[in-house]
A and B are shown apart, each in its own frame.
Chain A
Amino acid sequence: MKFTLNGRRVEVEAHPLARLLDVLREECGLTGTKEGCGEGECGACTVLLDGRPVNACLVPFAHAEGARVSTVEGLKDRRLRAAFVDEGGAQCGFCTPGMLMAAAALPKGFDEQGLKRGLAGNLCRCTGYTAIYRAVEKSRARRAPARPKVRRAAPKRPARRRSA
């Protein structure tokens, strides 16, 4: 079957009903896309199919014929990646590839609810999502936003308090 994988035309032999997830990981050797639940609930296997985010564990390979498939390995958005590293958007890293792909598919000019809704199909158990929001917002902003949530009252001695 022929399709475009991360910008390159490829031809891959696999059963048309094989999960796209397995074809990517096993036939194409792209193990960045993860399996978290196998039932389309966690979003760890999110890839872009013709630019739209899908759960690769639910998509039969046949749907990829002639389509554009993008995985984390082919993600061009360096700013987004860097923001995930700097802002703590990746902890254990297992949801990260899917989260990055879902974030990459967010429409321009999203608001807070749009951001939350856009990532609602991707579970993260480490971050409480806060750092992920920070990272996505930072990558889309013209200027890097301050880290708003990390505030420190750092007393030298327990009795005194100082805000920084």
Chain B
Amino acid sequence: MPSVGKSVARKDGWAKVTGAARYVDDLRFPGLLHARTVRATIPCGEVAGVRVDAPGCVVVDHRDIPGRNVIAMIEADQPCLVEREVRHVAEPIVLLAHADRETLARARVEVEYRKREPLLDPRLSRQAFKEITIEKGRLAEGFARADLVVEGEYSTGAQEQLYLETNGVIAVPEDGGVTVYGSLQCPFYVKKSLEAVLGPGRRARVVQLETGGGFGGKEDYPSILACHAALLALKSGRPVKLVLDRAEDMLATTKRHPSIVRHRTGVTRDGRLTAVEVEVLMDAGAYVTLSPVVLSRGTIHATGPYRCDHVRVHGRAVMTNTPPNGAFRGFGAPQTQFAAEVHMDRIAEALGLDPVRLREINALRPGDRTATGQVLGRDASALLALREAVRRSDFHRKRKAYPSQGKGIGLALFFHGSGFTGGGETYLASRASLELTEKGARILVGSTEIGQGTRTMHAQIVADALGWPVERVTSATPDTALVPDSGPTVASRTCMVVGKLLERAALEMKARLGRLSPRAYLRRHGPLVVTKQYEPPAGLEWSDQTYRGDAYGAYGWGCDVVELEVDPATLETRLLKTTAVCDVGKAIHPVMVAGQIEGGTAQALGFGLLEEVVMRDGRMANAQLTNYMIPTSLDTPPLEAVILESPYPHGPSGAKGVGEMPMDGPAAAAANALRHLGFDVRSVPATPERLLACPRLPAPGAKSKARPPRATSARGRRRVS
């Protein structure tokens, strides 16, 4: 019986509901030392001197690094430990370890600094880590055809991933090298970093443990922790545990990039976009880390899911003296699509047009070309998602009825590329293996289970390809000594890309088995491992130089509707209902797909309304759960997740990505609902304090009667900002 499309029992379910699942802090090793990191307390300057008073402790600084003092990511600009220059608060300087936590806490390390003036405003930064321009058609021509030009600036704040389990690793000296066990998304990223820091001749092995959430926050940061724990383990010859407490995790680790996005859009009076110009600025923080690729996804998604012949998107990710910002579910696209979707509502307003109608006119359709010139396939279902969301939420009726009831309703349409951007997947050349076992098959991939359901979903794909029940398929622990590099567990790629590799491996295994049972095959022919490597689907082209071509193999499409009210006295927003429609190609496991949509939507509503990272002198001032608020059960509205399936021919059973997409729409839909209530929200999170300062729009009743703009020549066109 096929299991794809059925919500089979989660492979890791029972261990997680009995307390048996083992996370990093649950592991014990004989002779274990606990570790502590001494971090910079200034955002910019130099270390003038370090005085260590730590009796009995193992002490490590940059001089103890046998290899290179870098965290090897895209660029090698970030040191593993500060030598002299400090570029951000919480930058690691000295590492300590001791078997007794209280002795460790008593150790004193005093650092003297020569302070310099920090650069904290990204607008003032002259150092761009990455700059991207996307051009299509001729912008001037597009503006010449416009009846109206609408301009606006939109901004989003930093957001903390707030996985419930903080970052943590254990490093164990082993065979002249180090094995790192940890809570992480990308074991092979960690391995690469360890190899650079440990130097040639020292073996680095990385094992992923049960991981209590990641959301991008365990994409690159675990590399730093792993190197630190490994250095202590190497020096002491003992296992070292380095688990961050919540405050340190919030202070030191990556956040979503704050963004400032400017739009200038030409539109005809009947609502067709003639020119789209977007300027994207992202605050990268102190080091390059993942910012170039975050910016890349951000700029490609910056137009929103709309057709326009004349487009220019220009993006910069700039250096500031704050801790590096990094990956967070959506990876730049939630920021730029927030701007695009609030801007669309403002265009509709300026035209006196219904916001749904404006989107219907301009939504990308199969056969249309995106800003990078990619021709969309038959699975481009923006219109379908829009109409489904409008129908399910009864949008039109509520849009008319709500103003008199003190409620607001708003929507946002969005898309999200599955897999690495551009030539990324070809460059990664991911591999996935399938091993025949006595009872069935064992999956060998570097993809990690971080709550999203990797193990179960992969097993379903393999089981169906082999024609077996899903119980006969198991997964190996992601251990770099055991599994091939399937690429990182990021970018909504684990199902569409790695799942497809496994499907191909399983089909080959089935052909090799013929009519033999696994046991009989193993007895007759010996062990069987089938490995498949990624090959781009025919016709996929991309240029990193011109930013033209097929930016992604496929896109997911979605639409959110948010209904809310605002307390007139406190300006607190109360969410009434959210409808989230996502087209995922094929839902391999509907309950888990719904879980991704529901969870991502809640996280995105937090991004839009609640979660504010307050930075003071380059330091997060609210690095605790008491005043960094994520949605609780009382803040989260009833969520209706709707799954659409427009299959992608090169995904397993037609599946595309789902992990990131639900993050793209809710913040804009919430802002547009607040707009419906008269708040001119252009910046999130829209906290009560921000709403108090927010300009008010004319009453909604009056707004709906706004006259459409006069027919004017291009020269005499109106401008709205």
Smallest Cβ distance from B396 to chain A, in angstroms?
A: 18
Contact of B641 among A32, A36, A132, A149 (CB under 8 A): A149
B211 touches A85 (CB 8 A): no
Assess whether B435 is interfacial by the CB under 8 Å rule: no
Assess whether A141 is interfacial by the CB under 8 Å rule: no
Smallest Cβ distance from B425 to chain A, in angstroms?
A: 24
CB contacts (< 8 Å) of B640 on chain A: these are: 149, 151
Complex Cα spacing A88 to B384, Å: 27
Contact of A37 among B17, B452, B603, B625 (CB under 8 A): B625
A92 touches B164 (CB 8 A): yes
A131 touches B594 (CB 8 A): yes
Q: Which of B19, B379, B590 has the most CB of A within 10 A?
A: B19
CB contacts (< 8 Å) of B513 on chain A: these are: none
> A35-B25, A91-B595, A154-B644 are contacts. A123–B630 as well, Cβ < 8 Å?
yes
A131 touches B598 (CB 8 A): yes
Closest B residue by C-beta to A84: B17
Assess whether B591 is interfacial by the CB under 8 Å rule: yes
B384 touches A155 (CB 8 A): yes
Query: Residues of B within 8 Å of A, CB-based: how many?
Result: 72
A128 touches B632 (CB 8 A): no
B17 touches A90 (CB 8 A): yes
Closest B residue by C-beta to A152: B643
Interface residues of A in 9-57 (CB under 8 A from B): 25, 30-39, 41-42, 44
Contact of B17 among A85, A131, A151 (CB under 8 A): A85
Query: Residues of A within 8 Å of B, CB-based: how many?
Result: 62
Assess whether A3 is interfacial by the CB under 8 Å rule: no
A37 touches B246 (CB 8 A): yes
B246 touches A158 (CB 8 A): no
Smallest Cβ distance from A149 to chain B, in angstroms?
A: 5
Assess whether A161 is interfacial by the CB under 8 Å rule: yes
A31 touches B26 (CB 8 A): yes
Assess whether A153 is interfacial by the CB under 8 Å rule: yes
Secondary structure call for the A interface:
loop
Assess whether A2 is interfacial by the CB under 8 Å rule: no
Assess whether A147 is interfacial by the CB under 8 Å rule: yes
A36 touches B634 (CB 8 A): no
B625 touches A39 (CB 8 A): yes
Complex Cα spacing A115 to B633, Å: 9
CB contacts (< 8 Å) of B12 on chain A: these are: 93
A32 touches B20 (CB 8 A): yes
> A130-B639, A155-B384 are contacts. A91–B599 as well, Cβ < 8 Å?
yes
A125 touches B213 (CB 8 A): yes
Assess whether B215 is interfacial by the CB under 8 Å rule: yes
CB contacts (< 8 Å) of B211 on chain A: these are: 92
Interface string of B626-650 (1 = CB under 8 A from A): 1000111110101111111110000
> A94-B213, A123-B632 are contacts. A158–B366 as well, Cβ < 8 Å?
yes
Complex Cα spacing A86 to B16, Å: 12
CB contacts (< 8 Å) of B245 on chain A: these are: 38
> A127-B598, A128-B599, A152-B645 are contacts. A94–B165 as well, Cβ < 8 Å?
yes
Complex Cα spacing A117 to B634, Å: 7
Q: Which of A34, A122, A128, A150 has the most CB of B within 10 A?
A: A128
Smallest Cβ distance from A26 to chain B, in angstroms?
A: 9
B210 touches A32 (CB 8 A): no
Closest B residue by C-beta to A71: B19
Q: What's the A-B contact tally at a CB cutoff of 8 Å?
A: 207
B164 touches A95 (CB 8 A): yes
A88 touches B17 (CB 8 A): no
Closest B residue by C-beta to A89: B17
Complex Cα spacing A81 to B592, Å: 17
Complex Cα spacing A153 to B641, Å: 11
Assess whether A116 is interfacial by the CB under 8 Å rule: yes
CB contacts (< 8 Å) of A42 on chain B: these are: 164, 625
CB contacts (< 8 Å) of B634 on chain A: these are: 116-117, 120
> A39-B624, A158-B378 are contacts. A125–B9 as well, Cβ < 8 Å?
no
A129 touches B602 (CB 8 A): yes
Interface string of A70-102 (1 = CB under 8 A from B): 011101000001101111101111111100100
A123 touches B595 (CB 8 A): no
B379 touches A158 (CB 8 A): yes
B210 touches A93 (CB 8 A): yes
Contact of A155 among B17, B366, B644 (CB under 8 A): B644
> A36-B165, A125-B603 are contacts. A93–B16 as well, Cβ < 8 Å?
yes
CB contacts (< 8 Å) of B601 on chain A: these are: 128
Assess whether A124 is interfacial by the CB under 8 Å rule: yes
Smallest Cβ distance from A157 to chain B, in angstroms?
A: 7
Assess whether B120 is interfacial by the CB under 8 Å rule: no
> A38-B246, A88-B591, A147-B591 are contacts. A30–B598 as well, Cβ < 8 Å?
no
A34 touches B18 (CB 8 A): no
B633 touches A116 (CB 8 A): yes
Contact of B165 among A92, A131, A155 (CB under 8 A): A92
A72 touches B630 (CB 8 A): no
Assess whether A126 is interfacial by the CB under 8 Å rule: yes
Assess whether B688 is interfacial by the CB under 8 Å rule: no
Closest 6 CB pairs of A and B: A32-B19, A92-B451, A94-B212, A128-B602, A93-B16, A85-B13
A–B Cβ pairs within 8 angstroms, 14 of them: A32-B18, A34-B212, A36-B164, A44-B164, A71-B19, A116-B633, A116-B634, A120-B633, A125-B163, A125-B164, A131-B591, A151-B640, A152-B644, A153-B643
